Amino acid sequence: MSIKLFDKDNHLNIAFTDLVNDQASVQSNQFLIANNGQAALIDPGGELTYSGLFMEMNKHVNSKELEYVLASHQDPDIVASINRWMNGTDCKLVCPEIWERFIPHFSRAGKMQDRIISIPDRGMDIPLGRTVIKAIPAHFLHSEGNFQFYDPISKVLFSGDMGANLTHDNLDMPFKSFDEAIPSMKGFHQRYMNSNTVCRYWANMVRSLDVQWMVPQHGRSFKGPKMVNAFLDWIEALPCGVDLMSQNDYRVC
């Protein structure tokens, strides 16, 4: 299923939500941004998604327009298919600097030579057509070197694992109420987000942006300032990760 998030004045955002049909795998979303003849894929996934994503992408843009694969971090469900994209297109990989030497393990030796653009820890603007995509820091949420991608034209925040909710239903429908989302995401965030400290830093940063739609890599989205702010209020108060650890979690069984 493809969901058009934005389509105006030669600028396009598409979400793909159901390319993985393997029930043993976690549902994941992939994203396409296109502007004036250049395109970028965000977190295109692994072998389970490649063929379907390639065909779906070509319904909206020609694969020759694919300028970048943007990888938020190094996990297999993020970028394990990178060898296929490197073979099938002329794209460059944009990834966190600390994962620059790890992600090529998904590819053949030498295939990524001179085709990697590193994102420094502070983030960066990525030029695309006549606009930019902002790579913004999301370190330790959940990966040590992690980024999210903000589109200043559509005002969509592609938030990666932040906001992820483990549901397979109504993926094309944003949550109508925030309370509806909590049961499918609380346990995930308590386990995968490093600590409340970094959640608060992240929430403060996001409040400086005009986010009209927050779209995570897993599950349903949060549309509108009211829902986005409800998420920020929730996550900045959530104990998670090392906050929940004790000596009892570190003992020999």
What digits encode the pLDDT tens for the residues 210-234?
999 999 999 999 999 999 999 999 9
Residue type (1 letter), 2: S
Q: CB count, 10 Å around CB of 197?
A: 13
What digits encode the pLDDT tens for the residues 17-49?
988 766 657 889 999 999 999 999 999 999 889
* CA atoms 99, 81, 126, 142: torsion sign: negative
Instruction: Please tell me the pTM assigned to this model.
Output: 0.95
Residue type (1 letter), 63: S
How much is the pLDDT for 1?
A: 76
Q: Which helix (H) or strand (E) holds 114?
A: none
Full set of structural domains in the chain with CATH: 2-245 (3.60.15.10)
Asked if 37 contacts 129 with a C-beta cutoff of 8 angstroms, the reply is: yes
Contacts of 105 (CB under 8 A, 6+ apart): none
Asked if 150 contacts 104 with a C-beta cutoff of 8 angstroms, the reply is: no
Q: How many helices (H) and strands (E) does the chain have?
A: 6, 13
User: What Cα–Cα distance (Å) separates residue 51 from each residue in 20, 34, 164?
Assistant: 10, 20, 24
